[in-house]
Structures are given as C-alpha cells and as structure tokens.
Amino acid sequence: MTSPQPTTYRVSPSPLGDLLTVGGPAGISGMYLSAQRWAPAIDADWVRDDAAFPDVVAQMQEYLAGERTTFSVALDLRGTSFQLQVWERLRAIPYGQTRSYAELAVAVGRPRAFRAVGLANGRNPVSVIVPCHRVIGSGGSLTGYGGGLERKRALLALEGATLTLGAWGGAERAL
C-alpha cells in the first residue's frame, strides 16, 4: 500500500495580496487570497514548494494583467455534492458577466435555495478561477465576498463587468 501524496502549498504575491495555492498531483484544491474568510491555516503536514503550480501562477498573472479570460488548470475540488454543483455553475458564468444568487439557484435546479447557494458560493475554495466574485445580489448590489468587497469590485472592474439586473436582458449599471 502506498502512502498518500502530501499536500503541497505555495504562497505567491499578486496585486490582490498574497495567494495561497494548495493541491497535489490531481490539481489544486484551494487558492486563497490573504485574509480571506474560510482560508485554512497551513497544516504542519503540508509541504511548501515555491516552484509548485507554475501554470496556476502564470495564468493568474495573465488574468490580473487583463490578458486572460479563462483558466485551464487542473482542479481537485472537494465539497458536498451540492457545493460541487454550485461551483461548477460558477465556472459557467462568462468573463465580464454577473449572475445573482437567485439566478444561480435556478441554474442548479433549486430556485428557493438561494441562501444555500450563497453559503456554497462563500465556501468556494478556489478564488478567482472558480469565479464566485461574479455573483451579486438580486438588486444588482455587491454583496459578500470572502476576499472583501474591495477585491470583488476590483475583479469585476478588471473584467469590465457591469452589474446586470437579470442576466438575460435586464437593466445594467456601471460599477
């Protein structure tokens, strides 16, 4: 019997603050902004490798420079089946667009579960790549973001997003 691969982590600087990237051979299981709500503490069993995940770091640098609109990194997401379903729907929100929590609830087939969708969204372990920052309040307001509302506003501005009230032809307003 082989022992499991240790969890690897890397801390890299970014314009948003330090990024903690966590993962293993199957892909990244977490990417957290500094001082992000729900970010894990670095476990004593984790192995720091400042050369790990070069594709993730490069793609994040390109995204933050406005040169990339999609990511092609391997993910090893871990959560409940409902969380995984919500996170998959988050990945379907196009660059520069927003959706409300209510719209996301409809998209996962649970139209009354917008609060549960909000909780799953908040527990997203892979910031930016799984774009939870693209989810806004039903009235078009910027609501909770584990990395802070200023970072959410900055990410949406980077993408040129407008706050869309209804993703299918509703009113828009600039950030």
Ramachandran area for residue 141 (φ above 0: left; ψ -120 to 50: alpha; else beta): beta
132 an active-site residue?
Answer: yes
Please give the DSSP secondary-structure letter assigned to residue 126: B
> Encoding tokens for residue 34?
């500094």
- Whose tokens are 């299918």? That residue is 168
Say how far apart CA 62 and CA 127 lie, in whole Å. Answer: 15
State the residue for tokens 């919500």. 86
Cβ–Cβ under 8 Å, residues 31 and 20? yes
20 within 8 A of 42, measured Cβ to Cβ: yes
Q: Please tell me which residue in 33, 52, 132, 165 is annotated as part of the active site.
A: 132
DSSP H helical ranges for 10-148 = 54-64, 81-91, 101-107, 114-122
Catalytic residues: 132
